[in-house]
Amino acid sequence: MTVLLTHQPIDRQRVLDQVQSTRAGAVVLFLGTTREITGTRQTVSLDYECYEAMAKKTLDELEAEAGRRWPLVHVAIEHRLGSVAIGEISVAIAVSAVHREPAFDAGKWLIDRIKQVVPIWKKENWAGGTSQWVHPGVPTDET
């Protein structure tokens, strides 16, 4: 099981390779990418910041909890920090399990919980030069 915070582009193949196993009959990959339009605004980039030790600890705890909830073979979570351009991957979650249902369920639960509780802050930078910080677990009128 692997958790990584990185300032480098996320390599989706590397994330998938981390969870491959002959014991797994299912591999699920979720990629969160930077979209160009958020609500009615055009996004030009995102910036992610965190206190890395705290964010890593929370991600490790979520990974462990997923392993307790579902019979998983492997989990890999990578979250990008710094500036992320349109179309680039912000977060990758790969889950392998013997069967598809626990792989899908664990992957969905992980991304939902990451967005709710991991102390990683996102700043949306919009066309026209304005921006807004979006905090984990706090809905905005544009999301």
**In this structure, what CATH number is given to the domain that contains residue 71?**
3.90.1170.40
141 lies in some domain: no
pTM above 0.85, yes or no: yes
Q: Containing domain of residue 6, as a range?
A: 2-134
Q: In total, how many domains does the chain have?
A: 1
142 lies in some domain: no
92 lies in some domain: yes
pLDDT of residue 143: 45
21 lies in some domain: yes
Q: Which residues of 11-28 are buried (b: 16+ CB within 10 A; e: fewer)?
A: eeeebeebbeeeebebbb
**Token pair 């591999």 in the structure block, residue:** 27
78: phi then psi, degrees, rounded to nearest 5: -130, 135
pLDDT of residue 38: 85
Q: Tens of pLDDT along the chain (143 residues)? A: 699 999 999 999 999 999 999 999 999 999 999 999 988 999 999 999 999 999 999 999 999 999 999 999 999 999 999 999 999 999 999 999 999 999 999 999 999 999 999 999 999 999 999 999 987 666 655 54
d(CA 28, CA 111): 12
80 lies in some domain: yes
